Amino acid sequence: MTRSSSSRFSIAAALALPLFASAAAAGDPASWPVSYRSADVGGLSIAYREAGPPDAPVMLLLHGFPASSHMFRDLIPEIAGSYHVIAPDYPGFGQSSAPAAEHYDYDFATLAETMNAFTEALGLEDYTLYMQDYGGPVGMRLAVSHPDRIAGLVFQNATVHAEGWSSEVVAQLSPYWSERTPETEAPVRAFLAPETTRWQYEQGSTRRDRLSPDAWVVDQTGLDRPGNDAIQLEYLWNYRDNVAAYPAWQAYLASAQPRTLIVWGKNDPFFTMDAVTGLQKLLPDAETRLLDAGHFALETHAPDIGAAIRDTFSQ
């Protein structure tokens, strides 16, 4: 390379640097790779994924059953340019601690306390909550306990209405909730089976070619860990406490009117469109996006959901 060509290259590179810097400043998701971290919370190791500018608004991603923060792997790149994204694994899920059931209360009040302590350990003063499935009862407890911290809500296939449940699922769970016996537990154990885990992803999905088998394989690996069945049965039994709390959560939403996005896989075999109608009545100003998808709509519609988040909360 001649001196003149080298000089031209240096000038061109120098001119290009501000362009790269401005792209990062504008929030280019490619500028924010995902980091995998853990935090000590009351003696538990809580694993979490983190991405985005540290000074950006926080979005806390709360996963469902039987998933983990792995379910957000496609959404995080969609929103990391606009948000400081935090996606934890609950105790008993993903890479977080999974103490035996006799050493941790696997109910949703305790889980919400752990997640609240997690946010405080990370110094998160306010955040938008993204709630899917189990994320609903966890997030609603955080919102009711600390309404001043809530910048917004995203409901994705997470109900706060009893009417929003599929009658078939209620028929399986109600006897267990009423009286916990080996006989009532047997149908609930079916939720832990490999074929059920896969079914949760495939049922209602209209883009089967976009469903990665990694999703249900990762989930099932977690379910199959020694002792994890006892953990999950505790969570499923204690889910009845969430149904009892629905009126309080509805009252909070009706009073606080947080900025809300409802994004929903409308073919969900667990939570029906009545759940959406109930939320819309409570939150008349909420933005609603219905997707031709199932319970785990992120598996096939992450770009659509990411766009809906950016559109709704940038206004």
pLDDT tens-place string over residues 206-255: 999 999 999 999 999 999 999 999 999 999 999 999 999 999 999 999 99
The amino acid at 250: Q
Rg (CA), the chain: 21
Evaluate whether residue 153 is within a structural domain. yes
Domain span including residue 157 = 27-313
Domain count of the chain? 1
- At residue 68's C-alpha, the angle toward residues 277 and 254, to 5°, is 30
Taking the C-alpha atoms of residue 307 and residue 312, their distance in angstroms, rounded to an integer, is 8
Evaluate whether residue 3 is within a structural domain. no
Evaluate whether residue 249 is within a structural domain. yes
The answer on pLDDT for 27 being more than 50 is yes
Q: Residue 158 has which token pair?
A: 């997470």
Beta partners for 265? 291
- Which residue in the list 63, 84, 295, 301 is annotated as catalytic? 295
Question: Confidence class of residue 191 from pLDDT cuts 50, 70 and 90?
Answer: very high
Mean pLDDT along residues 279-283: 98
Evaluate whether residue 281 is within a structural domain. yes
* The pLDDT value given to residue 314: 84
User: Which distant-in-sequence residues (6+ apart) come within 8 Å of 253 by Cβ?
Assistant: 160, 260, 279, 282, 283
How far, in whole angstroms, is CA 297 from its chain's centroid? 11
Evaluate whether residue 19 is within a structural domain. no
User: Which distant-in-sequence residues (6+ apart) come within 8 Å of 41 by Cβ?
Assistant: 114, 117, 118, 121
Mean pLDDT along residues 45-70: 97
Measured between alpha carbons, how far apart are the two ends of the chain, in Å?
A: 51
Taking the C-alpha atoms of residue 235 and residue 176, their distance in angstroms, rounded to an integer, is 12
Evaluate whether residue 284 is within a structural domain. yes
Identify the H or E element spanning 45. strand 44-51
**CATH classification of the domain holding 78:** 3.40.50.1820
Taking the C-alpha atoms of residue 70 and residue 299, their distance in angstroms, rounded to an integer, is 11
Q: Residue 171 has which token pair?
A: 């028929």
Instruction: Decide if 295 is catalytic.
Output: yes
Evaluate whether residue 12 is within a structural domain. no
Evaluate whether residue 21 is within a structural domain. no
**Alpha carbon of 183 to those of 101, 170, 175, 179: distances in Å?**
20, 16, 9, 10
Taking the C-alpha atoms of residue 267 and residue 292, their distance in angstroms, rounded to an integer, is 7
Q: What is the pTM of this model?
A: 0.90
* The pLDDT value given to residue 31: 72
* The pLDDT value given to residue 219: 98
C-alpha closest to that of 35 among 80, 96, 68, 67: 80
Taking the C-alpha atoms of residue 236 and residue 188, their distance in angstroms, rounded to an integer, is 8
C-alpha closest to that of 133 among 18, 236, 16: 236
